[in-house]
Amino acid sequence: MTTHVELIDKPVNQQELSSPWPKRVAWFVTCLTFPLIFVGGLITTTDAGMAVPDWPTTFGYNMFLYPWYTWFFGPWDLFIEHGHRLFASVVGMVSIAFVFVAFKWEQRAWMRKLVVIALLLVSAQGILGGIRVTENEVLLAMVHGCTAPLFFSLTVFNSTAYTRFWRAPLKHCQTEKGEDISHLVKPLRLATITTVLVYLQLVLGASIRHIPVTASTQTFSTLVVFHLIMALAVMVHVIALAVNLRKHKELAVSIRRAGKWLAGLVLLQVGLGASTWVLNYGYPFGWGETKFTANHLVITYGWWQAHITTAHMAIGSLLLVICVAVVTRLLRLRFVAKSVTVESDTETV
């Protein structure tokens, strides 16, 4: 009798045998997306978002034909803004290539749909960034910053669907055939809540980074207070998730290892957040821009301010996608284990 597990896993194995290219391109898109997010964050940190006032052209030139020496040896804000456009174009092109290889070799219809959705999402992200420039609208910049981690999360999900764990999750776990998997409900629920909290924290952070110049100091202070409260909630949930995953010895090593990464990254994130506050506002130690770090590379901020603040933002996206990876793997394990349980019950009857 054909089971649901076979219907899902068999096409994956056929695809794996026919071509490794869908897997390669999926991971390539994922690996390109994180540095793209970092560069985008650096643009916000250094206030270089309007360095090029037109779009999709660059000072009237075709974006890809803009003189490289003017770009490469020009001012910092021009270098980083135009470079971000070129980098984003590369991600878009690779996403297009992913659609082609998926439709050629991918056997799973739902996977082909996700690949198309990823392309539409990255295209919409590019258009949103362009309209932000043409309209010079800070709110659109904030939305642009909030949707980038969503695309990153989707690329991670797509990449996970090409892992060995996805093909045979029970093989990588110590869960026996027909074993009750109700114990997976708690870590799955905790991982899902943690994922939502991390994304909400990213939105709050984006609201602070893109706050209008017309906003009152009270508005800024309120956002900071909520950001700090949410940071505490995220840290507690991430550590609780890491501890919970560690307790479940039967889970795959990749899932339990992700818990360790989350715990380490959230502690790093707290340190980066404190450093961001100290370096940008000099509180409470009176540190900040000094003659040793000021204006080496970045005009608007000192080197340390720019890169630590941007790293704080980028690590937040990493926390999000690792949470997404944990949720994805737990859902996959739960689904396959339930299918096997149903199969065993059917055979018994």
For 54-76, the pLDDT digits (tens) are: 999 999 999 999 999 999 998 98
| Range 183-207 average pLDDT | 92
Taking Cα atoms as reference points, which of 303, 325, 344, 146 lies closest to residue 252? Answer: 325
Question: Taking the model in full, what pTM does it have?
Answer: 0.87
Q: Residue 246 is encoded by which pair of tokens? A: 């560690």
Q: Which positions ≥6 away from 174 have C-beta within 8 Å?
A: 249, 250, 251
d(CA 70, CA 311): 28
Ordered by start, the domain boundaries in the chain are 1-162, 172-349
| Full DSSP string of 213-238 | TTS-HHHHHHHHHHHHHHHHHHHHHH
Using DSSP's 3-state secondary structure scheme, residue 58 falls into strand
For 223-267, the pLDDT digits (tens) are: 888 999 999 999 999 999 999 999 888 888 889 999 999 999 999
Q: Give the burial string for 218-233 (b: 16+ CB within 10 Å, else e).
A: eeeeebeeebeebbeb
Confidence check: pLDDT of 295 > 60: no
Report H helices in 161-302: 164-167, 185-209, 217-247, 253-281
> What is the band of 176 on the pLDDT scale with cuts at 50, 70, 90?
low
pLDDT of residue 270: 94
Confidence check: pLDDT of 13 > 50: no
pLDDT of residue 46: 87
Q: Which positions ≥6 away from 113 have C-beta within 8 Å?
A: none
